[in-house]
Amino acid sequence: MRVAVFSTKSYDKTYLDSANAGQHQLVYLEPRLDSTTAFAAEGAQAVCVFVNDVLDAEVIAILAKQRVQLITLRCAGFNHVDLEAAKLHGITVARVPEYSPHSVAEHAVALMLTLNRKIHRASARVREANFSLDGLLGFDMHGKTVGVIGTGKIGQCVAKIMSGFGCRVLAFDPYPNQKCIEAGATYVALQTLLSNSDIVSLHCPLTPETHHLIDEKAIKQMRAGVMLINISRGAVIDTRAIIRGLKSGVIGSLGLDVYEEEEYLFFRDLSSTVIHDDVFARLLTFPNVVITGHQAFFTNEALTEIAGTTIANISAYELSGSVVHPVSVERLV
Ligand code: NAD
């Protein structure tokens, strides 16, 4: 099957080529998929896309015109795909529902520890031969309360790791699960979690219900000095409200791996250009904010799994007309 692979980075090519082993004709394209680049899928039966590719009704209509039959996502989240439009045009959508929840959960914990012990500042100081400890004071994680919002595959891993640190773990999810309770978490209402947690970590998908879940009102319910970690999707938090929270001190520290407008920034080297996003630029000025550019998934194990599952989805579609992990308006697997 001929597959147009959008938003290709060198590591995508390495892992996909290895999993593919010559089965499919993978056409690697650096641009992100949107209405101006969709023409590049001409002649392909499938497109393979990542988190910031645009798959709205307009793009899907262009793909359908080019006889694309399959959209295969190299990620778990599918908030950027217009599933109604895909259904309308008879295009199958596949994803990688689970690759390594550990990779993402461990990155959330890396952000927590970095912020708590000010590793980002300490490392920069030591490089300048400044060995002063002023301003680097942290706290014991042991005994603190961590609130996990969204206790699916990744949230469960975070709950387990934080229990191992000796933290009290509070959880909120409309669908509580036993595994998370076994991991040491106690399910509570969202408001209880917000008002009792020293650290709040977000692991829910972006949906209409979770859009700006952490807004002005939620921030008011939080403990003064709370640490907030968002590793799920940028728009789960209202970034402008968070900036106000940082300025007032209610938010004591912020760790982000995702950002509302990240499609204009992440996954490329902009170090020689001017950042035009003033909200993002403001975030970069805070000493108590650490941002990574959507790299939580970026481990050898996760990339191996993503490539393997993507090729399995493509092969299954070629053989049987259905994929291993479909995502549709009717059925989410
Ligand atoms: P999952 O589907 O296993 O779990 C999501 C959980 O969120 C479910 O238990 C669901 O019930 C819960 N949820 C749904 N609506 C909620 C709400 N309103 N409030 C609280 N919880 C709610 O997904 P997962 O594999 O754990 O991934 C979670 C999210 O993490 C993904 O949707 C994706 O956006 C994000 N993610 C980020 C990266 C990264 O590299 N930063 C990588 C993978 C996933």
**CATH code of 178's domain:** 3.40.50.720
Tell me, yes or no, whether 198 and 256 share the same domain.
yes
Residues composing the chain? 333
Predicted confidence (pLDDT) per residue in 220-238, tens digit: 999 999 999 999 999 999 9
Residue 291 CA to residue 149 CA, distance in Å, equals: 20
> Regarding beta strands 199-202 and 185-187, do their DSSP bridges make them parallel or antiparallel, or are they unpaired?
unpaired
Asked if residue 134 and residue 145 are part of one domain, the reply reads yes
Q: Which of 80, 107, 262, 325 is catalytic?
A: 262
Structural domain boundaries, residue 79: 2-99+300-332
State phi, psi for 94 to the nearest 5 degrees: -125, 155
| Pair 256, 315 in one domain | no
CB neighbour list of residue 67: distance below 8 Å, 6 or more residues apart: 45
The answer on 203 and 58 residing in a single domain is no
Q: Catalytic residue among 24, 107, 233, 325, which?
A: 233
Q: Are residues 43 and 189 in the same domain?
A: no
Q: What average pLDDT does range 232-255 have in this prediction?
A: 97
Same domain, 23 and 139: no
- Whether 253 and 137 map to the same domain: the answer is yes
Whether 233 is catalytic is: yes
Per-residue pLDDT tens over the stretch 98-114: 899 999 999 999 999 99
65 and 31, same domain (yes or no) = yes
Average the pLDDT over 61-89 and give the result.
96
Same domain assignment for residues 164 and 47 = no
Q: What is the mean pLDDT of the chain?
A: 96
**DSSP letters of 95-135?**
--S-S-HHHHHHHHHHHHHHHHHTHHHHHHHHHTT----TT
The C-alpha atoms of residue 299 and residue 103 are separated, in whole angstroms, by 6
Domain count, the chain: 2
State yes or no: is 203 an active-site residue.
no
Q: What is the structure's pLDDT at 328?
A: 81
- What pLDDT was estimated at residue 100? 92
d(CA 219, CA 225): 11
Q: Whole-model pTM?
A: 0.92
Q: Are residues 95 and 105 in the same domain?
A: no
pLDDT value, residue 333: 45
